[in-house]
Structures are given as C-alpha cells and as structure tokens.
Amino acid sequence: MSNRRTFFKAAGATMLGAAAVSRAGAALLPEAASRDAATMLPPSTPPNGRPYNPVATLNGWSLPWRMKDGVKEFHLVAEPVVRELAPGMKANLWGYNGSSPGPTIEAVEGDRVRIFVTNKLPEHTNVHWHGVQVPNGMDGVGGLTQPHIPPGKTFVHEFVLQRPGTHMYHPHADEMVQMAMGMMGLFIIHPKDVRQLRVDRDFAFVMASYAIAPGAATPRTSEMTDFNLWAWNSRVFPGIDPLVARTGDRVRVRIGNLTMTNHPIHMHGPHFEVTGTDGGWVPRSARWPEVTTDIAVGQMRAIEFDAIAGDWAIHCHKSHHTMGPMSHDAANLIGVDQSGVAKRIARLVPDYMSMGSAGMSDMAEMQMPLPENTLPMMTGEGPFGALEMGGMFSVVKVRDDVRPGDYRDPGWFKHPPGTVASEYTVEDGDGVPRAPRIKADDRTLHVHKPGPHEGH
C-alpha cells in the first residue's frame, strides 16, 4: 500500500502540466525524426541510457530520442502521411513522423520520458498513452485531463515509466475519424534488468482496419462495421514482413488491436504461450499452451514460442480478414451455371469474367483488371502455387542458419526430402489400405422415428 501511495504522491509532485510550449521553447525542441518507408528498420542497440533488448516493429521503426539531463526526450508529430499498404496500393492516412502507425516508442522501466507532440493535422488532436501508468493530467484525454492540442501547437508530456509492458498510443480526440485514418503506435517499456523476460527475437505490431473503396485512397472515416482492409502496422498481405528466426530461438510477438473488432490470431507449427497482456507479464505458472489467441478491441497480447524450422503461417482466423479489399457483398454463385449469361455480357463488356460458380479460388490465379490503386481480393504466390490470401497474413520463417540480428527474408523453406504432401497415385499404392466401397443401398440412413402414440 505504501508503495502505491509513494507512486501516486511522486507522480503528482513531479507532474508537469500538459501545456503548450512557448515560441521560445519550440526552438529548443528535440528534432522530430521522420520516415515514410514501409520497410523494417532492424532493431539497434540504444545509444545511451539504460540498456535494453529492442523490438522489431514489422514494416516499421522506433523513434530516436534525445537525452537531456537524464530525461529521454521524444518528439511526435501528428500529420497526414501516405502509406503503401502493399505493393500496388497507397493510402492517404494520418499518422506520426511520416508513417502510420507512428514509430514505436521504446524506453525502460524507471526512465523519465518527456514527449513533445506537435499537431500538423487540420484539426485538434492529443495522445493517450494506452496502458501506460501516468499521472492523470498526462493521460491525454482531450477535454477531460487536458485541453486538445490545436493545429500548429506543440504540447509536452512528462512521466516516469513504472512497469515493463507492451502498450500503445493513439488520439483521444475525434477518435473515430483519427483512428480510422491510422493514428496509432506502440509504446514498449522494457524491464530494468536486461536479463529479465529476455528472448532472441521480439516482434511487435498493432492491428488497424480501413474502409477504402476500390479505386480510392482515403479511408471512409464514418464506417462502423464494413471495413475491407485488415492491416498489421498498416500493411496487408503480401506487404507484411515475414517474422524471421533461427531454429530453437525463443520468439516473442507483441500484438495490439486498435481495429473495431476482435481478431483470433492463429499460428501454425510450434505451440505458443500467452506471456503478456495489457496489464503486464503473466507469471510462468499461469501460462498455458495455445495455437490461437483472441485479441479484443483495445487489447494487447504477447505470445512466445520456441522456433521450429519451416514456413509457418500466422494470420487472423476470421477468413474474411485474410482477404483483400474488393467488394464483400457479392452474390452467392456457388453451383450456378453462368456460361450462357457470361457470353452475352462479354459482348457488351469485353473484359467480363464470370466467377464464383465453383468457389472463389479462381480469383487468386486469374488476372482480372482491377481499378487503379486497388489490391486483389486474394493474391500471393508461394513455392507450390497461389496462396489465395490478403489482409492479416504473414509467415514465421524459421531456418537453421539465420544469424542473430538478421531479419532479411530467407526465401521459401527447403523441405527435407520426403516431407511434403504430394499427389497419391496407384503405383504408390502397394500396401496402402483403400477406402471401403459403399453400395448405393448402404448410403440410405434408416432412422426409427417415434410415432405420436409410441411408448404409451
């Protein structure tokens, strides 16, 4: 109890008002790094301050800081950005420092951080440090704990990081619009003791959803349910970085959810354990093995596993979340013979193709003309053919010979001979039991139905 009281007292005493920085002060602001590339900036050793093991932000980067009198000073700039969601599609989003999501903020338990937020958006904003324990006046809820940050102004936030964990940041101002436009980022607090919670690979991403009509580039911000782009770090398959590890590595994946629905994240191959939640780290004795973990809106989960060689799919298990952005309200044509009508439509629309009669896998292979700046509904080419994926899908690529710190895509897995499923042929069939032959009559199931007076 006394610990808690000390924390809250200290927090109150050291609190600096979330006030607008004066014109004179603005000249002394730390430089705001900016980056618009959607390639991962591999994690690098912190240049000063307490040591920590940095995270790898998929298709992203971490925000540099300036150390000033023992305080880590960060500078976030809220601004419009252009983000490539995957090759072939760019979106007009709002983000921070040139990218959406904004750069990952990494610091260490016990660090005092001072975060400047400059607003270059056309409307007011502010930043809520989602899950980080801060003095109330630093919580970034516009109108409740501080004034909104008007366009053109810079506010400063200062607090001491109390506990290690995986957190997020996002606006608490015109939230529906600003989050639908991609304003979010990760906030990682590393443990003071570098040996604590140590893993070999530590990946991080935050999930976002967008509603961008085919041919358009700006999200529809009034959308509540019908999103058509399901993104990890504002990237969709095949634009999401693979998660590269070496056989036997202890791998952690930190996942935050700022979409408007839950995502059951499923990984093939090694079983994992949920080791972290928004509230901190799960005691070892309380972890349990899992292959899918459901991540609700506003939640964060960290999962860990021991890497096994192979190309293991990792994806959201809602199958429409592993699909691209084309219309999802297509008619159900399974079993419908469209040959006659297709011929007649083709006379009017030469590019017309009928599809869906035998399922939608045709989509992945055929090159149907798409509107500009639009991704196909299903895409991707693997070593054995079409992957038929989109949205929230990537691959955990584990190899025996990956060097520590190397995050480059190692290409497709080379399977040991005789370990790939293949077509069965009669010549292979010696000694293999055949499926029993069923006579037509045996297929009729005879059910005894009780009559109305039976049993009286």
- Locate 239 and state its tokens: 């634009």
Q: How far is the CB of 264 from Cu ion (least distance, A)?
A: 7
The residue range among 14-22, 54-62, 144-152, 255-263 that interacts with Cu ion, by the rule CB under 5 A, is 255-263
The residue range among 50-58, 159-167, 186-194, 308-316 that interacts with Cu ion, by the rule CB under 5 A, is 308-316
Question: Which residue, 301 or 321, has its beta carbon nearer to Cu ion?
Answer: 321
How many residues lie near Cu ion (CB under 5 A)?
A: 4
Distance CA 268, CA 312 (A): 5
User: Look-up: residue for tokens 């509904």?
Assistant: 377
Distance CA 186, CA 102 (A): 8
Residues 213, 318, 345, 354: which binds Cu ion (CB under 5 A)? Answer: 318
Q: How far is the CB of 254 from Cu ion (least distance, A)?
A: 17
Q: How far is the CB of 371 from Cu ion (least distance, A)?
A: 25
> According to the binding rule CB under 5 A, does residue 321 interact with Cu ion?
yes
Question: Which residue, 264 or 279, has its beta carbon nearer to Cu ion?
Answer: 264
Ramachandran angles phi, psi of 182, nearest 5°: 100, 15
Site for Cu ion, residues 393 to 452, rule: CB under 5 A: none
Ramachandran angles phi, psi of 247, nearest 5°: -50, 130
The residue range among 124-132, 214-222, 257-265, 280-288 that interacts with Cu ion, by the rule CB under 5 A, is 257-265
Helices (H), 98-255: 175-180
228 CB neighbour count, 10 Å cutoff = 24
Distance CA 379, CA 323 (A): 9
Q: How far is the CB of 265 from Cu ion (least distance, A)?
A: 8
> According to the binding rule CB under 5 A, does residue 190 interact with Cu ion?
no
Site for Cu ion, residues 260 to 299, rule: CB under 5 A: 263
Distance CA 141, CA 155 (A): 13
Question: Which residue, 117 or 392, has its beta carbon nearer to Cu ion?
Answer: 392
- DSSP conformation letters of 367-402: -----TT---SSEEEETTEEEEE-BSEEEEEEETTP
Residues 113, 316, 389, 395: which binds Cu ion (CB under 5 A)? Answer: 316
Distance CA 444, CA 116 (A): 74
Q: How far is the CB of 318 from Cu ion (least distance, A)?
A: 4
109 CB neighbour count, 10 Å cutoff = 18
Distance CA 123, CA 178 (A): 10
Q: How far is the CB of 153 from Cu ion (least distance, A)?
A: 36
Binding residues vs Cu ion (CB under 5 A): 263, 316, 318, 321
